[in-house]
Structure 1
């Protein structure tokens, strides 16, 4: 619909309240002042006639023009819908029809000088009367229009709730069926459990089992009223089962076919390994039976894939075992280098002690996926599938990828033709295991690695590996072969005795390893009489261990040679030790060295004399009497004499203590006089010194204590300090010093 018209075009329309000729329209434009408004413009191009916007026309003319030319159709640019809502096809059509009507009304209202209510009334009347140009698909969905509906749709569009305009009558009735609401939903839950446990149940079977569970009648709630109805017919159950299987297909598939759910519907983890960009950054390994037979039976194929380049290495093995994993890793390392991480599943061959020990020795980080989660190593799963469907299909002896494939291959021959034939003859088996290994290696090197790969953006594994500039970590083949050797027993840990290392009932003798040493032992698979002894962590080679009986050497000759080597080794190690022992014997005795150290450690403290008191018992008195008898045997002492003697001894001890106290007091008095003289020495003769204060005595005590810690305190000062620290004055000064800190001393 054109919004700008010339005077001639307006006259041709013959609109109400407008002249039907061009000159009449010019006069109306002059009279109403249209030419001077912003709604009048010159038509671009040749001629340059004046155009007028339709909003300048009278109301009736605008309505007639809109009715004649407006078309209800889907707008070119739809409003953005909410992405989280899933809508049916019918709901989408309903939404688009309502959006088309709202867009037509907005275009109809543009520039019209009428109130909103009048515009809505005019638009809905024209719509219901069929006066508007409406596309058939929209008219079929919405045959009539009300003012209330139009206002509601406008509001929902304005608020961005576009999906709220969608409406599907079938979805609205969903979940209201008889069997879905019967017995408060118990019938529906029972039916779901039945088809989850046995997906092949028919509608007749489910109806019979529901009669067994709920009886011949069902309670149904309809519009708030509970009614009792007879068990619906089989056809109703068939429709209900179809709806349940469709609406719960994901849950039912997970319960009935977990493998199909995991491969088709479980999260695939797209892009989880995008950080793996360099060769040998991550490998994945796995194994699977080959879908082809060999003359020596069916083999398993071990696959190793480098995630960054998609290169692959393959190894055939009759049975899954850790040695096959080790040989696969050896083959890949010699071809590509040492990887950073290898990811496997939890199979016994991948988590065996030998495999873990090999990873540890090579400095490879081992990573295992969760149990029953093949999607966590999807790259190696996918390359094995490619191998089975691309190469195994071409092999003689191909038995198919499934039981049905195998039956189809067998059916190529009639039963009479197969009668008496072996399995190898039925499937045309001609290859041996080594021949199949060569074909697998050739396929990987000539076909697979030169095939464009979608995960490499169209590049080939060969080109991806060639483009990398990352250095390749290489291992010497001989060292790698030694690390692949089997260990002694389960753990390889042994203790060297004087007879050597015991392995399987035989003793392997080593002259260079001292008895009592714990070693880690690897066996040489090509020489039963030789073993290799390492430190317990395998990081240091200690020497060979030889079993004379298995190595074909005379035991006596070997023992004599080993004894000579051991003697030379021990003598060499003991030579310096003997010299040190002689030098030690010529020096000071050990007891003198110990006493000298003890004297250096003893504290420089003079112990003060302790106050003594006599202690006596009947036995002590008897001993004193015996000593007195020895001094004067001709004059035995009676009890009174003994008591007098004891008093004499006590008096002597008291005198000694008094003399000691007097001497101590004299020393203290002398030291106090010296301290007082030192304190007043700098004063003039006519100045009288004040008595020493408690603060000065406390400072002197701290000074003496520091000297005592350094061993510079004299005996008189130590005696004075010992008596002062027990006084109440020192304790009071210490409390004040602790509260105010060193500022108290300044």
Structure 2
């Protein structure tokens, strides 16, 4: 419907309350002042006649014009419904019909100078009178329209509840059937369990089993009243089974066919590896039997795919084994470089110690997927399927992708023709393993890597790899071959003895490695008499190990050479040691060196004199008497003389103690005088210094304690501190300091 009209077009419409000539419309427009309003504009192009918006027309003319040209149809750009998989086709059609009516009413109301209630009344009247142009499918779904319904639909659209406009009567009755509600839903649950346990049960089978479980009658509740009915006929069970299989399709497939559920219905994880954008950031490896026979049997093919570029490398093997994984890794690394991470499954060939040791040696992060979860390495699973379907049918000896395919190939010949034939003749087997390997490598190099890949936005794997500027980590081929060599025994760990390294009952001589050294040993697959010894972590090469019996050398010759090499090695390592021992013997003795260190470690502390008290016992007195008699045996002491002698000794000790105390007090007095002089040195001559306060003495004691920790405290200060810390003044000052903290000292 055109909203902008010229005077000629308005006159041609022959609308009520409007002139029927172009001049009459122009006079009306001039009288009503239409040219001065925003609803008037010049038509673009040659001529430039004035156009008027339909909203300038009188109300009756507007209604007639919209009725004449408006069509109730599906909007050109319908409102996108919120995702709701519960809507059936019938509900979606009803929703779209109601949305078309609401859109038509909004178009009808636009610019109409009428109240909302009047516009609704006019629109519904003309809709019910079939005065509006309505598409047949809308009229079929909504034959009549009420003002209340129109208002409700507008409200639901405005609130975003678009799907609420859809209604399916059949869907409303869903789940209310006799068998679905019988016995409180127990019959329905029993039927679901039956078809999950055995999907091939017919309606007759299910009815018979329900009779066995619930009897010949069922309890049904209708409008709140419970009634007993006879077991429904087989036809009812057939309809119910069809509905249950349709409404519980996913659950039943998961229970009855887990593989199909995992491959078709389980979440696929699209975009989970979008962070992998650079070559060699992540590889995936897996193996599968080739769908073709060779003259030497059926082989398995190991596939390695680089996720970022989708490049592939393939390796055939007669049986799954760790050595095949090692050869695949060697082939891929020499061609692409070293990856950061490799994802495998939990097969014995992938979790073997040799495989894990190879990953560790090359600084590759191994990542094993969960058991029975092929979707976690879906890229390599998919490329193997591509290989099987793209290459397999072209190979002589193709046996099909499944048992059904194999039977179809066998059926191309009659049983009489196949009678007595070998499998190789039946399937036209002619390729050897190496020939098949060459065909696979050529396919990957010439076809697959130059085929546009959907996962790379139609870019080929070759072009994707060439466009990357990421540096590639390469390994020397010889070093890689050495890392791929098998280890000795199960773990490769050995201890060197004087006879060398013992491996499988043979001794491998190691003249360059001293006895007692733990080593990690790799065996040379091309020379049984040669091995390579490394440090236990494999990060340092220590030397070769040669077995005389297996290498073809004369044992005596090899032993003589080993002794010479070992002698030179020991002499070289002990030469500097002997020189140091001579220097040590010429210098100070070891005890003198130890005592010197002990003197340096002694703390710089002067021990304070201790109070002495004469200790005497009868035995000590008798010993003194005996010593006195021994020193002067010609003059035996009588008891009185002995007592006088003892008094003399005690007086001498008292005098010594008094002398020591006097000297200590003199030292302390001298030091106190020095401290007092230091304290008053900065005062003017005419100022008399006050005596040292308890606070100042306490601060000085703390300062002396800090000096004692560093060994910088003199003997007089140490003697003063030792006496002061036992005084009542120090204890009182310490208590105050503890209560008020360091703020007390400021």
2:432 maps to 1:432: yes
Question: Paired residue for 2:314?
Answer: 314
Q: Which residues in structure 2 correspond to 1:416-565 (within 5 Å)?
A: 416-565=416-565
Taking a change above 3 Å as real, the CA distance of residues 315 and 230 of structure 1, as seen in their structure-2 partners, is same
Question: Paired residue for 1:411?
Answer: 411
Q: Distance in 1 between matches of 2:284 and 2:741?
A: 71
Question: Paired residue for 1:337?
Answer: 337
Deviates more, 1:571-580 or 1:417-426: 417-426
Give the superposition deviation at 1:648: 7.2
Q: Distance in 1 between matches of 2:144 and 2:677?
A: 127
Question: Paired residue for 2:351?
Answer: 351
Taking a change above 3 Å as real, the CA distance of residues 234 and 710 of structure 1, as seen in their structure-2 partners, is closer
Q: Which residues in structure 2 correspond to 1:104-253 (within 5 Å)?
A: 104-112=104-112, 114-253=114-253
User: CA offsets per residue over residues 190-239 of structure 1, 9 Å max, x none?
Assistant: 22222222221222222222222333222223333333322222222222
Taking a change above 3 Å as real, the CA distance of residues 10 and 677 of structure 1, as seen in their structure-2 partners, is closer
Give the superposition deviation at 1:553: 1.9
Taking a change above 3 Å as real, the CA distance of residues 31 and 228 of structure 1, as seen in their structure-2 partners, is farther
Q: Which residues in structure 2 correspond to 1:491-640 (within 5 Å)?
A: 491-615=491-615
User: CA offsets per residue over residues 231-265 of structure 1, 9 Å max, x none?
Assistant: 22222222222122222212222222222222212
Unaligned runs of 5+ in 2: none
2:383 maps to 1:383: yes
Deviates more, 1:174-183 or 1:66-75: 66-75
Aligned partners of 1:34 and 1:56 also within 8 Å: no
Give the superposition deviation at 1:111: 5.0
Deviates more, 1:705-714 or 1:725-734: 705-714
SS at match of 2:338: coil
Give the superposition deviation at 1:167: 1.3
Q: How many residues align?
A: 744
Taking a change above 3 Å as real, the CA distance of residues 115 and 657 of structure 1, as seen in their structure-2 partners, is same
Question: Paired residue for 1:694?
Answer: 694
Give the superposition deviation at 1:482: 1.4
Taking a change above 3 Å as real, the CA distance of residues 169 and 731 of structure 1, as seen in their structure-2 partners, is same
Q: Distance in 2 between matches of 1:551 and 1:165?
A: 89
Deviates more, 1:665-674 or 1:239-248: 665-674
Give the superposition deviation at 1:401: 0.5
Question: Paired residue for 1:101?
Answer: 101
Aligned partners of 2:521 and 2:534 also within 8 Å: yes
Q: Distance in 1 between matches of 2:8 and 2:707?
A: 125
Q: Distance in 1 between matches of 2:213 and 2:743?
A: 95
Aligned partners of 2:175 and 2:181 also within 8 Å: yes
Q: Distance in 1 between matches of 2:491 and 2:379?
A: 33
Give the superposition deviation at 1:603: 1.5
Q: Which residues in structure 2 correspond to 1:250-289 (within 5 Å)?
A: 250-289=250-289
Unaligned runs of 5+ in 1: none
Deviates more, 1:252-261 or 1:655-664: 655-664
Q: Distance in 1 between matches of 2:311 and 2:2?
A: 65
Give the superposition deviation at 1:525: 1.2
Deviates more, 1:124-133 or 1:283-292: 124-133
Length-normalised TM-score, structure 1: 0.89
SS at match of 1:350: helix
Give the superposition deviation at 1:295: 1.7
Give the superposition deviation at 1:439: 2.0
Taking a change above 3 Å as real, the CA distance of residues 740 and 241 of structure 1, as seen in their structure-2 partners, is same
Q: Distance in 2 between matches of 1:613 and 1:50?
A: 133
Q: Distance in 2 between matches of 1:23 and 1:481?
A: 98
Length-normalised TM-score, structure 2: 0.89
Give the superposition deviation at 1:3: 6.0
Give the superposition deviation at 1:103: 2.9
User: CA offsets per residue over residues 37-63 of structure 1, 9 Å max, x none?
Assistant: 85788988879699794874464x665
Give the superposition deviation at 1:336: 2.5
Q: Distance in 2 between matches of 1:346 and 1:501?
A: 34
User: CA offsets per residue over residues 52-94 of structure 1, 9 Å max, x none?
Assistant: 94874464x6656655554322233323322356532211211
Taking a change above 3 Å as real, the CA distance of residues 510 and 178 of structure 1, as seen in their structure-2 partners, is same
Taking a change above 3 Å as real, the CA distance of residues 651 and 11 of structure 1, as seen in their structure-2 partners, is closer
Q: Distance in 1 between matches of 2:272 and 2:72?
A: 48
SS at match of 1:349: helix
Taking a change above 3 Å as real, the CA distance of residues 132 and 639 of structure 1, as seen in their structure-2 partners, is farther
Aligned partners of 1:66 and 1:108 also within 8 Å: yes
Give the superposition deviation at 1:631: 6.5
SS at match of 2:351: coil
SS at match of 1:239: helix
Give the superposition deviation at 1:276: 3.0
Q: Distance in 1 between matches of 2:723 and 2:30?
A: 129
SS at match of 1:564: helix
Q: Distance in 2 between matches of 1:668 and 1:5?
A: 123
Aligned partners of 1:295 and 1:429 also within 8 Å: yes
Taking a change above 3 Å as real, the CA distance of residues 652 and 401 of structure 1, as seen in their structure-2 partners, is same
Deviates more, 1:722-731 or 1:292-301: 722-731
User: CA offsets per residue over residues 631-684 of structure 1, 9 Å max, x none?
Assistant: 788999999999998777666655544443344334434544565566667888
Q: Distance in 1 between matches of 2:283 and 2:359?
A: 12
SS at match of 1:447: helix
Q: Distance in 2 between matches of 1:31 and 1:304?
A: 83
Give the superposition deviation at 1:708: 4.5
Taking a change above 3 Å as real, the CA distance of residues 307 and 704 of structure 1, as seen in their structure-2 partners, is closer
Q: Distance in 1 between matches of 2:124 and 2:743?
A: 98
SS at match of 2:288: strand
Q: Distance in 2 between matches of 1:677 and 1:23?
A: 127
Give the superposition deviation at 1:286: 1.0
Give the superposition deviation at 1:14: 7.3
Give the superposition deviation at 1:180: 2.1
Aligned partners of 1:295 and 1:430 also within 8 Å: yes
Question: Paired residue for 1:396?
Answer: 396
Q: Distance in 2 between matches of 1:631 and 1:349?
A: 98
Taking a change above 3 Å as real, the CA distance of residues 721 and 204 of structure 1, as seen in their structure-2 partners, is same
Taking a change above 3 Å as real, the CA distance of residues 80 and 399 of structure 1, as seen in their structure-2 partners, is closer
Give the superposition deviation at 1:354: 0.6
